[in-house]
Amino acid sequence: MRIDIYSDTVCPWCYLGKRRFELAVAARPQYEPRITWRPFELNPDLPAEGVDRETFASVRRADATRLEESHKELTRLGEASGIRFRFDLIERVPNTRRSHLLIAHAARGGLQGPLKERIMRAYFEEGCDIGDPDELVRLGGELGFGPAEVRKVVILRSGQDGVVAAERHAAVLGITGVPTYIFDGQYTLSGAQDVAVFARVLDQVAEFTAGRGVAS
């Protein structure tokens, strides 16, 4: 089973969806999904250094009350899945291109999932600026990537063509929001679904795949 997951590293619902999806996969050990994390940038026009969080909110005319209510809901839902959201620690809204470049690079060593997790945990639970190259060097180093290797990816932007192509493909597929999960290139599911929903979809996709095999 091949699963492509489009998400952004500053999307809290993507972080919640990632955790719930992984819990569903753990509950279905009979499957061995090949998961690829695909890039999606919610704020592609942000400067490379990101912006102050309060400035970002004022420019986007964010409703403070609605935002606070959303954060409370996410905090409650996150706790049930082992996530401790700390929105109060976040001071900057980063441009996420650098984080996506590093996650795409990590696919070569089969470390996409762990690196995606570490970057999102750093942002949502520790308040780190994940658009800062030095911060990405630190986070990448925790998974064994050397400083020079990370800087080549996030500063010289080696591999950028692949990330841009993946984002364009998302547009071709009609993806306008994340997280979005595509199973075997045919079945699409969007949103941070409950664990039970993810588990049921895994079962259904496996059943459809087996049915096609019998039919052929």
Q: Rounding to the nearest 10 degrees, give the CA dihedral for residues 7, 129, 151, 103.
A: -20
- Alpha helices, H only, the chain: 12-26, 53-59, 64-80, 97-106, 112-126, 133-142, 147-154, 160-172, 195-215
Does 216 have pLDDT greater than 50?
no
Q: What is the pLDDT of residues 35-85, one digit of tens each?
A: 999 999 999 999 999 999 988 888 777 677 888 999 999 999 999 999 999
Q: Phi-psi region for residue 174, left (φ > 0), alpha (ψ -120 to 50) or beta?
A: left
Q: Are 94 and 10 in contact (CB under 8 A)?
A: yes
Q: According to the model, what pLDDT value does residue 147 have?
A: 98
CA dist., res. 2 & res. 100, Å (int) = 20
pLDDT category at 215 given cuts 50, 70, 90 is very low
Does 212 have pLDDT greater than 80?
no
Token output for 112? 């996409």
Q: What is the mean pLDDT of residues 189-193?
A: 98
Does 92 have pLDDT greater than 50?
yes
CA dist., res. 12 & res. 33, Å (int) = 23
Q: What is the mean pLDDT of residues 158-179?
A: 96
pLDDT category at 1 given cuts 50, 70, 90 is very high
Cis bond before residue 39 (omega within 30° of 0): no
Q: Are 26 and 201 in contact (CB under 8 A)?
A: no
Range of the domain at 48: 2-215
Does 166 have pLDDT greater than 50?
yes
Domain total of the chain: 1
CA dist., res. 34 & res. 144, Å (int) = 22
Query: Phi and psi of 200, rounded to 5°?
Result: -65, -40
Query: What CATH code is carried by the domain that includes residue 166?
Result: 3.40.30.10
Pairing of strands 34-39, 2-7: parallel
pTM given for the model: 0.95
Percent over 90 (pLDDT), the chain: 89
Interhelix angle 147-154/97-106, rounded to 10 degrees, is: 130
Q: According to the model, what pLDDT value does residue 213 have?
A: 64
What is the pLDDT of the chain when averaged over all its residues? 95
Of the two residues 55 and 94, the one the predictor is more confident about is 94
Query: For 124, what's the count of Cα atoms within 13 Å in the CB-facing half-sphere?
Result: 24
